[in-house]
Amino acid sequence: MELLDAFDKALGEFDRRVHHVAHNQWTAPTPCTGWTVRDLVNHLTSEHLWAPWLLRGATLAEVGDRYDGDVLGDHPVRAWERAAAGSRPAFHRPGALESDVHTSSGLTPAADYAWQMITDLTVHAWDLGRGTGDDQPLDEELVMAVHENVAPAVGSWQGFGVFAPPVPVPDSASPQDRLVALLGRRP
């Protein structure tokens, strides 16, 4: 799966689930320890507000703390929609993925940053589905592309709080279950 196709598919998976959150589900727990549905959507909304800045070459200091705290306000779905509407064209801008971006781990190739965002969108789409009871499976091609991309790196993430340690699954586990288990979730 091509990188931008994976980004669009992952964005769509998360977006669909955000649009299915019922009014009374925003405080529901998710598989992310200590995060409610609202916390999870806030996290992704903040990330996607950052993306256009980073893809234009802004440093972390230039962005500052403008997206810290609650970025959802009284209209979480609308806040997410605005963030996604800015993020998608930023990733698709010609040349956007050919440079480096400033991230908390240092200067990072934009394509690697895109895969980080794809991974976050994908696994958090699963988390959001679990938190709201929307257990529709993720796109299998996307799941396999994300797994292929993150499997070699997951060991180096341990100890940084990025994801919980992998959870064992049987050899017969589905690609989706293998991915979420790799990223510390119990399928």
The domain limits of the chain are 3-182
The pair of structure tokens assigned to 37 is 């549905």
- pTM of the predicted structure, to 2 decimals: 0.94
**pLDDT at position 35, please?**
95
Which CATH number is associated with domain 3-182?
A: 1.20.120.450
Residue 70 CA to residue 49 CA, distance in Å, equals 12
The pair of structure tokens assigned to 127 is 């988390």
Question: CB neighbours of 144 closer than 8 A, spacing ≥ 6?
Answer: 1, 175
Each residue's pLDDT tens digit, 78-93:
999 999 999 999 999 9
Please answer whether residues 166 and 186 qualify as being in contact, where contact means their C-beta atoms are separated by less than 8 angstroms.
no
- pLDDT bin (cut points 50, 70, 90) of residue 111 is very high
Inform me whether the pLDDT recorded for 162 exceeds 90.
no
- pLDDT bin (cut points 50, 70, 90) of residue 157 is low
User: Of the candidates 171, 175, 120, which has an alpha carbon nearest to the alpha carbon of residue 145?
Assistant: 175
**pLDDT at position 152, please?**
85
